[in-house]
Homo-oligomer: A and B are copies of this chain.
């Protein structure tokens, strides 16, 4: 149904929003144990419902995973999903350029 180009484009599109990019950054900094939605909310000052929508979009494209521990939902950045994107860009959009 979706080819790989679409998967990559979808992830790029989700990262392409200031709030979502900030959310992803925050979650990466939190490490493997993740961060409760409420903590993200405190950190970024985004209203609950808005934040929830953004997070669920990132979950849909595999950038974030959620696991519940009693009442709190932990959000965990899926580093591999971003890595797929980085590798794609490096392989397909960086032909023959050295640093």
B21 near A16 with CB under 8 A, answer no
Q: In chain B, what residue has the closest Cβ to A97?
A: B79
Does A28 sit at the interface, judged by CB under 8 A? Answer: yes
The binding surface of chain A is classed by DSSP as helix
B5 near A9 with CB under 8 A, answer no
The count of residues in chain A whose C-beta lies closer than 8 Å to any C-beta of chain B is: 34
Does A69 sit at the interface, judged by CB under 8 A? Answer: no
Does A74 sit at the interface, judged by CB under 8 A? Answer: no
Digitize A1-39: 1 where CB-to-B-CB distance is under 8 Å, 0 elsewhere.
000011011111111111001101100110100000000
Which chain A residues have a beta carbon within 8 Å of chain B's beta carbons? 5-6, 8-18, 21-22, 24-25, 28-29, 31, 77, 79, 82-83, 85-86, 89-90, 92-97
